[in-house]
Amino acid sequence: MNKGLLVIAGPCSAETKHQVLSTAKLIDNIGGVEWFRAGIWKPRTMPNQFEGVGSRGLKWIEEVKETTSLKVMTEVANPYHVEKVLESKLDGVWIGARTTTNPFYIQEIVESLKGVDIPVFIKNPINPDINLWIGGIERFLKSGNNKIYAIHRGFSFIDNGKYRQTPYWQIPIELKRLMPQIPIICDPSHISGKSSLVSDIAKTSVSIGFDGLMLEVHNNPDSALTDKSQQITPKELKTLLNNIRIPQNPISNLESINTLRGEIDKLDMDLIDIISKRMGISIELAQIKKVNNIPILQINRWEEMIRLRLELAGEKNINKEFIKEIFEKIHEESIRIQGQ
């Protein structure tokens, strides 16, 4: 089992006492898992869906704490939830993506936890806004709580491809750069939306350098009342953890890596120079269009241009969506410059 990786595991929802305790005992027997998680208040999109068992589920989670070696946590979204969790002496809480989106909700929870030395795990907001995430974290830090963890659970886009939520690794990586003191936990279950994709997301996050994993684990996922498709079994959890390798060797002194990094730096400088020249040509185009009363946006030209770029990307075995996104950003900036 991998030492140094903080692992949180448990069902999406606490459904019955038997389900909670049996799942927890199976997880505890695996080893390498520090925290047990289970939601008892479930924020659902539609009102007729299962919204959790409520406060009575706290007794079941308390029993997990008493009968296993696991620390226990649940999700909180308001001061009432916090009050009940503190009465039950749970070890930690997490804040869901929908709650993180609203600074009013976050501040209410901060106030209700003021003076309480308890770990708080904060999921990123659903929309890809790093400032909302940082703002939620900073509100807790400002209150004096330094036991704060960030949870990367993916972001919602119009098209999330094969995932339930797009990983969009750029944002948690940027969070790590801006707030290096905050450990980042990955939630592969919500990112993937499918149990078959959980392992790959988990491995990617660990290879990037994330500090832990939050995994939805159910003793019988097919019968789960919430998110059955993304939950894995305790047996699958054991296999996943056994197959994860945490990067150990420092690379700063490896000559071959430093050489390649130097080549990348040089190419990046060349890219910036090329983009600068391209934008200069866009300014010249804008002046010609203005004199001749020609619209800035030439949609046929844009469609032909992007078609040719994507064809070339295919020939070079480069991901076409990646290239399309790059040129859309370049075109957007070019239009902005020409419109000034």
How would residue 340 be classed by pLDDT, with cut points 50, 70 and 90?
confident
Over residues 88-117, mean pLDDT: 96
- Whole-number average pLDDT of the chain: 93
Would you state the structure tokens that stand for residue 88, as one six-digit string? Answer: 């039950």
Residues spanned by CATH 3.20.20.70 within the chain?
Answer: 6-243
CB 182 within 8 A of CB 150: yes
Would you state the structure tokens that stand for residue 37, as one six-digit string? Answer: 């998680």
**What pLDDT is attached to residue 253?**
58
- What fold does the segment set 6-243 form as a domain? TIM Barrel (3.20.20)
User: 330-333, long-range: CB within 8 Å, 24+ apart, which pairs?
Assistant: 330/275, 330/278, 331/302, 331/306, 333/279
pLDDT above 80: residue 250: no
| pLDDT tens per residue across span 158-212 | 888 899 999 999 999 999 999 999 999 999 999 999 999 999 999 999 999 999 9
Q: What is the DSSP string of 171-191?
A: HHHHHHHH-TTS-EEE-HHHH
**147: which residues sit within 8 A by CB, 6+ positions away?**
117, 118, 119, 120
CB 142 within 8 A of CB 114: no
CA distance 73 to 8: 9
**What pLDDT is attached to residue 242?**
94
**13: which residues sit within 8 A by CB, 6+ positions away?**
38, 39, 40, 42, 50, 52, 53, 224, 225, 226, 227
Lowest mean pLDDT among 158-162, 200-204, 248-252, 302-306: 248-252
Over residues 284-290, mean pLDDT: 88
Amino acid symbol at 154: G
DSSP alpha helices (H): ranges in the chain? 17-30, 57-67, 79-87, 97-100, 103-112, 130-142, 170-178, 188-192, 195-208, 234-243, 255-291, 299-315, 320-338
Neighbours of 237 (CB within 10 A): 24
Over residues 331-336, mean pLDDT: 89
**Between 287 and 251, residue with greater pLDDT:** 287
Would you state the structure tokens that stand for residue 237, as one six-digit string? Answer: 């959890």
- % of the chain at pLDDT higher than 90: 79
Q: How many residues would you count in the chain?
A: 340
**What pLDDT is attached to residue 249?**
60
Lowest mean pLDDT among 53-67, 77-91, 302-316: 302-316
Q: What is the pTM of this model?
A: 0.81
First-to-final CA distance of the chain: 58
| pLDDT tens per residue across span 110-153 | 999 999 989 999 999 999 999 999 999 999 999 999 999 999 99
pLDDT above 60: residue 248: yes
CATH number for region 255-338: 1.20.59.10
Over residues 99-103, mean pLDDT: 95
How far are the Cα atoms of 39, 167, 180, 283 from residue 245, in angstroms, in the given order?
A: 29, 20, 22, 50
How far are the Cα atoms of 46, 59, 75 from residue 40, in angstroms, in the given order?
A: 17, 11, 7
Residues spanned by CATH 1.20.59.10 within the chain?
Answer: 255-338
pLDDT above 90: residue 298: no
Lowest mean pLDDT among 80-94, 188-202, 215-229, 324-338: 324-338
Would you state the structure tokens that stand for residue 105, as one six-digit string? Answer: 């909700």
Neighbours of 254 (CB within 10 A): 12
**DSSP secondary structure code for residue 166 in this structure:** B
How would residue 51 be classed by pLDDT, with cut points 50, 70 and 90?
confident
How far are the Cα atoms of 103, 149, 308, 311, 313 from residue 321, in angstroms, in the given order?
A: 34, 32, 14, 12, 9
